[in-house]
Chains A and B, each alone.
Chain A
């Protein structure tokens, strides 16, 4: 059964997507584009009318550069932070990266041309390194943000028109390791920050300098692309990477994953927990698919919640074996609510899908963005929805 799909197309390549986290009333998403012609870059705010399944979009200019990272503020729907790459042609051709906090301008709909975003402040990290990967909002304190620059985590304090660097955490290591991305742990009142580099996932305590709390040595056999914390259940997080797998970890025992799934045929770029029903996991991959997985066994709603030590191999192997089943059309219908399995595969993308996000307003809506600029808004299949609710 095909549920309603809403499609939105962009003119430019795009690899950043963020849900309008602060707006819990309407389904909205932010998209940042990538174009090496600086003036072409835009931020789209796409809103879905759930009644008609139509989409309305507002477009703002982001001429600072091509957007590599975009996060909407969880406190104010009109605030967003981007990391971008801008090309400077004079005096000589070169690229510089920047990261800024922006405000969406009040759009009265009268102006003909695209309104530019209003810059609130810049994050001046260049003294620490040329490349910024992400700037993230603190989960509880709206005056704080953290940037991942090279091998450092920089913590900012937001002033009126500027951001003041308050602390830095440095990862030491051979061969100049660089972070690929990072994220706050929403559970520990924002004191913990997790980073990705190569096959490592590390947890840091930002209150102390250079204090690594935990590490997963080889989270994936290849590059780790993304991580997400279970928003409702402490200690659990999911990672995904170039080995095409999604793995789910219990931070108290990081020697091996609780569940490993390999549903994708190529690199998995993004993994997101549903904020309301954390058994629902969305993953997107360069095999051009978005897959929804229901992992009841490790969700906070799981009936055997306390049985935390289901860390045996069987689960892992079974997880892997299930993959081949899910590819077969003659899949046996599993009535058991607790069986972990793929519940939906969205194949309408025609290029690599780098981002997937759950709506912050409607727990059953998931948006995904492929490189060619196509945004898909999908619903969790009704049957699965009822299984979870009932």
Chain B
């Protein structure tokens, strides 16, 4: 059979469940040939036969199984019957057990209550026995010094004791306990008072006492007094062990011992006394602690301060590191103890130490300055000796030598004075920069930087030093030799023009001081102009002193020369008096000294051609002006008509002979010469002259006229002064004719001189 492929479930599938035989047959008849149908029929028959035989085998098999099962069930039925009998027996036994147990229970009921009561009594007795043993135990522990255990035992039993305290039998125990406890407490207290107790042991003691319900406020006071004494000891030992220790070591040891202890005390105190009782007591305890800590810290800081003050630390680095350590410790301590900020105090300490360092440096600067002054004084004294030797005799030949060495010496000394000081200041500033190292802890505080840089370094050191310089030189003006006066004046000028600005700039730069800061800060800073003015004033003062002193020295000579002569009995003049030559010589020397340090300066008046005696070094200066006053003045005087003299005087008086001195060679020399000539005038007014006395004065003044003009700014001033001398002498001349000398003879005599 070849059934065509049909869809599933089709009625034409002979094996399918939807198979419809009629439809199948119809289809078969329609589609297939007879032969084909015949084949199909035989095939179907064959299949049917095959299927029948299969069915038969299946039935047989199942039948066998069923028979087996029936046999098994039969066997089971008999087994169950046996089991039922055994079950019944079990029930019977159980019933008898129940009845027995009920019997036992009922018999035991009476004794059970007694037993439980007895066991309760037993436990109580055990406890009570402990109580009875307690005094002994405590005593034992006391002997063994195991206080901690003792306290634990006691604390455990204390509630019980309290509970039974009113019973007679226990009162004894309680009393014993209390006695022992009292002993314990006294022992603990003794430990508290004993100075050798270590801090840890101490804390334990306190803890125990606290557990024993001792009043905490009393305890904390006791504790504080105890540690106070210990700290005091440490402090005093710190005070003693000063010598041989540098500041950093001192800080270290102090911090290690003292501050660590203090920290420990604060922590343990907080643990023990704070946060346990009520807030009122708490605050009381805190107050005690605070006052304690503040007191001790204050005395510590005081000692530190004393130490810092007592030892002038040469090495800034050591000092700085010491201060840094101190500050670190204080900061650390601050985090522990927040009530009072000790860093503020520490900062003050540091600032004051820094300031002290500045002051020390200032002192050393001052002494350095004094030393260099003394040195300069010495080196000035030495060549002066030789120059006084050369005076007079071989005047011109030695002069130039002396002069060059003189000027070299002066400038050299000047530089040594100025530069040495400036360098020294710079060195010190460098040293002080150590305070500003960025890794230092205290540097970050703004107020330190300000206080240190501005108050300490700039004002306290640099500005103070500059002020000191001006003050010193002014104060010493009376005691120093003339040449040094001149030198110092120049030094002040030098400072004014260069060094002050330089030093201030360096300071401002290194210590980052902002010049253009706010107005308030500006007021703190001394301005450069202010200091320069001071320097200038000092220079002017010294210069005035110099001019006055030099003039006075010459005046003394002039005065002596006038006083020692009998002008009333004078002989006819033949030469210029030696004193006048001496005056010229001295003025020339002064001129050299001044010229070595100061600029030429400018002239105001005319010059003269009557002065042909221009020495070698004088010719270097170029004068183009010419006048003829030398001759005209002389002829005027020889006419000696009083009105003419008066008129002359009216014009001459307009010039101030004591004009302020400027810092130029000309101005300085003018000042000196004016003072000298004025002295001459005063001296001659006190004398009475004869004719020849008058003529001698005439010779002298003419000589001075010839030589002095080249030193001065305005020669009319000296001309007027000298004319006034001659006029005064004319007035003081007793001879009726008051005859003056011929100008020609004057010239000749002066030429000779």
Contacts and interface: CB of A to CB of B under 8 A. Distances in A.
B477 to A, nearest CB: 8
Contacts of B552: 221-222, 242-244
Contacts of A85: 688
Given A95-B568, A321-B474, A352 B682 contact: yes
Interface in A291-337: 317, 320-321, 324, 327
Interface in B668-705: 675, 678-679, 681-682, 685, 688, 690
A243 B559 CA distance: 13
Interface string A62-91: 000000000000000000000001010000
A118 B206 CA distance: 114
A101 to B, nearest CB: 24
Interface in A348-390: 350, 352, 371
Contacts of B356: none
Interface stretch (B272-280, B631-639, B726-734): B726-734
Interface in B728-753: 731-735
A291 to B, nearest CB: 13
Contacts of B658: 265-266, 287
A317 B475 contact: yes
A387 B477 CA distance: 33
Give chain B's interface secondary structure class. helix
A331 to B, nearest CB: 12
A350 B478 CA distance: 30
B692 to A, nearest CB: 12
B548 interface: yes
Given A36-B688, A222-B556, A242-B552, A266 B731 contact: no
B542 to A, nearest CB: 10
B499 interface: no
A371 B685 contact: yes
B537 interface: yes
Contacts of A320: 474, 477-478
Contacts of A193: none
B400 interface: no
Contact of A93 (B474, B556, B734): B734
B507 interface: no
A141 B477 CA distance: 47
A267 B679 contact: yes
Given A93-B690, A242-B552, A321 B541 contact: yes
B554 to A, nearest CB: 12
Contacts of A221: 552
A169 interface: no
Contact of A36 (B537, B555, B559, B732): B732
Contacts of A222: 552, 555-556, 559
Contact of A286 (B478, B568, B678, B735): B678
Interface in B431-482: 474-475, 477-478
Contacts of A352: 681-682, 685
A85 B460 CA distance: 65
B733 A36 contact: yes
Contacts of B690: 93
A266 B217 CA distance: 84
A246 to B, nearest CB: 15
> In which size bucket is the chain B interface?
20 to 34
Contacts of B679: 242, 266-267
B544 interface: yes
Interface in B532-584: 537, 540-541, 544, 548, 552, 555-556, 559, 568
A92 to B, nearest CB: 11
A87 B478 CA distance: 44
Q: Taking each of A87, A265, A320, which has the highest tally of chain B beta carbons within 10 Å of its own beta carbon?
A: A265
Interface in A115-135: none
A371 B727 CA distance: 13
A235 interface: no
A44 interface: no
B17 to A, nearest CB: 138
Nearest to A321: B474
B10 interface: no
Contacts of A371: 685
B653 A13 contact: no
Interface string A211-247: 0000000000111000000000000000000111000
Contacts of B541: 321, 324
B555 A324 contact: no
Nearest to B678: A266
Nearest to A317: B475
A95 B689 CA distance: 11
B653 A87 contact: no
Contacts of A327: 660
Contacts of B548: 244, 265
A222 B678 CA distance: 15
Interface in A154-180: none
Nearest to B660: A327
A126 B594 CA distance: 51
Contacts of A93: 690, 734-735
Contacts of B731: 13, 36
Contacts of B688: 36, 85, 87, 95
B737 to A, nearest CB: 12
B733 A350 contact: no
Contacts of A350: 653
A82 B475 CA distance: 44
Contacts of B477: 320
B537 A266 contact: no
Contacts of A266: 658, 675, 678-679, 682
B660 to A, nearest CB: 8
Interface in A185-223: 221-223
B455 to A, nearest CB: 25
A9 B734 CA distance: 24
A324 B533 CA distance: 13
Contacts of A87: 688, 734
A287 B681 CA distance: 12
Nearest to B551: A266
Nearest to A352: B682
Nearest to B556: A222
Given A13-B731, A36-B732, A221-B552, A324 B540 contact: yes
Contacts of B559: 222-223, 242
Interface string B509-551: 0000000000000000000000000000100110010001000
Nearest to A223: B559
Contacts of B568: 95
Contacts of B734: 36, 87, 93, 95
Contacts of B732: 36
Contact of A324 (B478, B537, B681): B537
Interface in A1-58: 13, 36
A36 B675 CA distance: 27
Contacts of B735: 93
Contacts of B681: 286, 352
Interface of A: 13, 36, 85, 87, 93, 95, 221-223, 242-244, 265-267, 286-287, 317, 320-321, 324, 327, 350, 352, 371
9 closest residue pairs by CB, A with B: A265-B658, A324-B541, A350-B653, A317-B475, A287-B658, A286-B682, A36-B734, A87-B734, A266-B678
Interface of B: 474-475, 477-478, 537, 540-541, 544, 548, 552, 555-556, 559, 568, 653, 658, 660, 675, 678-679, 681-682, 685, 688, 690, 731-735
Given A13-B731, A36-B733, A317-B474, 15 more contacts: A36-B688, A85-B688, A95-B688, A222-B552, A242-B555, A243-B552, A244-B552, A265-B548, A266-B658, A266-B678, A287-B658, A321-B474, A324-B540, A350-B653, A352-B685
20 contacts: A36-B733, A93-B735, A95-B568, A95-B688, A222-B552, A222-B556, A222-B559, A242-B559, A242-B679, A243-B552, A244-B548, A266-B658, A266-B678, A287-B658, A320-B478, A324-B540, A324-B541, A324-B544, A352-B682, A352-B685
